[in-house]
Amino acid sequence: MILQHMSPTSRQFELKIQSDPAQLAAVRKAVETYAAAMGFDEKAVGDIGLCANEILANIIRHAYNGDTHRPIHINAQAEHGRLSIMIRDWGNGVDPMARPQPPYDPLTPGGVGLLCLRELMDEVTFTPQHDGMLTTMVKRKKG
């Protein structure tokens, strides 16, 4: 079940979901719709959606070990040409950037989520919480 709060003129957006992979497509679509409504171009909208999808998939896979009934909260705000998306989980609290990253191997599935975040977003931070993780990604409008 996706709970969503956004009005057409709102600069803020909120989703509360369960950690079910079946929800990823709907969440990605909602995030992309919000980014487009905030004036981001088509490429940026796609980048934002892909990165949100990767973060959520990694939370489900790594922080929640595949459990499909754990909470994930997504909050976004846009102002002054800057979109910030905060994704909160209550998983294991492991900062993926603090772990050694194996070299990318195109013949091995997976392993591109963090690479996408670094390349496609302007900022990404992982802030451990006492009971999980807060991931923040930022995209700025070009031009």
- Tens of pLDDT, residue by residue over 80-138, are 999 999 999 999 988 776 766 666 665 655 556 677 888 999 999 999 999 999 999 99
Mean pLDDT value across residues 12-40: 94
- Tens of pLDDT, residue by residue over 51-79, are 999 999 999 999 999 999 999 999 999 99
Q: Are 114 and 101 in contact (CB under 8 A)?
A: yes
Question: What is the pTM assigned to this prediction?
Answer: 0.86
| Domains, the chain | 12-83+108-140 (3.30.565.10)
